[in-house]
Amino acid sequence: MTTSPPILRRAGDNPALLGLVGLLGFGALLEILPRVGVLPAEYFPPTSKIVSALVDEFGRAGFWRAVAGTVTTWLIGLTIAVVAGIVLGIVIGSIPALRLATASTIEFLRPIPSVALLPLAIVLFSAPVRSILLLVVYASFWQVLIQVLHGVTDVDPVARETAASYRLGRWRQARYLVWPTTLPYAMTGIRLAAAVALVLTITGELLIGGTKGIGEEINVAQSSIAVPSMYALIVVAGLIGLLANLATRRAERIVLAWHPSVRRELPL
């Protein structure tokens, strides 16, 4: 084995290096097991085959169009959900009567699995992209709305009284008091929404099809039983997910640079 104990011991105290060793080990493992026959190579191609399939995919123009397709659908759906979530969140959140009236509806609609809307989406919207967007927006909207509602209701009552005592108008109150408190929650909502939106984008592409996207590429690969390229596409989907996570975390740090890192993701 390449990694002898001393390296492990020296890497022991440096997590980044250890993480790398972990990754390489994982890759090596997936290389050896199929070759040795522990895993059926037909369905578990060795890593080298997957990597070469990945390189082939990178070479194909259709691949990049598919990646672009998935990312655009994902971003459009996410943006609609985020804007709607924040606007509705602040409006509903800052009017207690509205907050109480809508609570039960929100609590009823939120857990409905967006994929349940799939048959409706196919039938209601003839253009496949619209149906997928319905799923993506529906799934990610609630993530943002719930967090923003928490943010608005978490505004410190004392701060609210001081703002009122200085006769800050409702609009200015929203701008200088509600928004800064809600922002960290909104960012959490966006981070959760981004992940869910990607899952639903690819689900839509897989089940509805008819749009340029990774999901469709996987369907094509499955039909021609091109197993290595299926894995390559899975790796790509994972990378997109990873980049999405890193990007949203990065954005969070920038936007919340001024905010004490104390930000509770409510265990609801």
Partner 1 sequence: MTRTLGRIALVLGLPAILLVTWWFASAGSTSFYQPPLETIVKVFPDTWTAARFKSDVVPSLIRLFIGYGLALVVGIGLGVLIGANRRLRSLLEPILEFLRAIPPPVLVPILILIAGIGNPTKVLVIVVGGVWPVLLNTVEGVRGVDDVLSDTCRSYKIHGWLRIRTFILRAASPQIVVGARQALSICIIMMVIGELLGATDGLGYTVVEFQRGFQIPEMWSGVFVLGLLGVLLSLAFTLVERRVLNWYHGARAAERSGH
Partner 2 sequence: MLRTRLIALLAVTALAASTAACGGSDDSSNNNSSSGSPDKVKVGVIPIVDVAPIYLGKAKGFFTKQNIDLTLEQAQGGAAIVPAVVSGQYQFGFSNVVSLLLGASKNVPIKVVANGNNATADPAKDFSGLIVKDPAITRPKDLEGKTVAANTLKNIVATTVNELVRKDGGDPSKVKYVEVAFPDQAAALDAGRVQAVFLVEPFVSSVQPKGWKQIGSFAAVSPNMMIADYFTSAQLLGEKADLAKRFTAALKESLAYADAHPDEVRQIVTTYTTIKADAAAAMTLPKYNPEIDKASLELLNGLMVKDGLLTAPVDTSKLLQ
Dmax (CA) for the chain in angstroms is 76
- Give the CA distances from residue 12 to residues 2, 9, 20, 22, 254, in Å, rounded to whole numbers and listed in that order: 16, 5, 12, 11, 31
Phi, psi of 108 (to 5 degrees): -85, -45
Query: Tokens representing 166?
Result: 């200085």
Binding partner 2 by CB under 8 A: which of 84, 159, 235, 255?
A: 84
What Rg, from alpha-carbon coordinates, does the chain have?
A: 23
Q: Is 199 helix (H, G, I), strand (E, B) or coil?
A: helix
Binding mask 113-152 for partner 2 (x = CB under 8 A): -------x-xxxxxx------x---x--------------
Cα–Cα distance measured from residue 82 to residue 143, given in angstroms and rounded to the nearest whole number: 9
Binding mask 84-103 for partner 1 (x = CB under 8 A): ----------------xxxx
Cα–Cα distance measured from residue 110 to residue 149, given in angstroms and rounded to the nearest whole number: 13
| Contact partner, 36, from partner 2, partner 1, none, Cβ < 5-8 Å per class | none
By the rule CB under 8 A, 104 interacts with partner 1: yes
Please report, as residue ranges, which positions from 219 to 258 form the binding site for partner 1 (by CB under 8 A): 219, 222, 225, 227, 230-231, 233-234, 237-242, 244-245
Which residues lie near partner 1 (CB under 8 A)?
Answer: 12, 15-16, 18-23, 25-26, 43, 100-105, 108, 110-120, 122-124, 195, 198-199, 201-203, 206-207, 214-215, 218-219, 222, 225, 227, 230-231, 233-234, 237-242, 244-245, 265, 267-268
